[in-house]
Amino acid sequence: MKIAVTVKEVREQVNEWKRQGLSVGLVPTMGYLHEGHKSLITRAVSENDRVVASVFVNPMQFGPSEDLESYPRDLDRDAALCEEAGADLIFHPEPSEMYHSGFSSYVDMDTLTGGLCGKSRPIHFRGVCTVVAKLFNIVMPDRAYFGQKDAQQLAVIRHMADDLSYGIEIKGCPIIREEDGLAKSSRNTYLDKTERQAALVLNRALSEGRKLIDAGERDAARIKETVSSIISAEPLARIDYVEVVNWDLLEPVENIDSPVLVAVAVFIGKTRLIDNFIALED
């Protein structure tokens, strides 16, 4: 497995693979990899001849008061996981390699980004779309892999790839959880022991919401009320949002009659966690 730090290195390697007629999968990450990321790489390896994993903490998607500087980083650990999962190349650029001093071009979106996480993180998805668009142009993958835990991001990237005619197959992969149900996240490392226990309320609340839908409940307000009340009962939890939206354009629904995303963002202490499930999906 190789580690590349420049766009030139990546393009030279990918061009060589393409000359050999090999398919290429891309797994974009911000590093500090865990079993969730590993599952994306493993799937990419199973569906492509070669796999590139990017490890880049993208400054463009962090707001002024967010955790850019404290976001966990450990390239040696990441490289070991990537190699074990079967990746062929890690792209680990410096911010200056991705955004030169005169950088002034962005990829933005009018739909899908205003609600959910976009409401409290207004610049976030412009940063996500811009860096992913750059990665698509650099790696030129046949397929790209994103986790369902960041469900809004997955929907946004699918929409962007279609809008901009990339011709890249966007693959959504299931949420990977700890044994106790907490969705795996690099930000889980911010939680102390008490907060870690309190964070279990997210999955517990969503599980109750899923049970209601599975039992035939179709009133979105009832689902939101149930999920919200369970989370609110946890003293360390502060709700950012609880939403039921359609799984197409992420618009709020009143009646659940097609695939929906039930999503939450919750502060446990100072740490913002997200989780979700998709209901009625084929």
Whose CA is closest to 262, among 274, 245, 249? 245
From the list 34, 37, 124, 159, the catalytic residue is: 37
CA distances to 40, 73, 94, 95 from 99, rounded to whole Å, are 26, 20, 9, 6
- 37 is a catalytic site residue: yes
CA distance 195 to 200: 9
Q: Which residues pair with 34 in a beta bridge?
A: none
Q: Which residues are catalytic?
A: 37
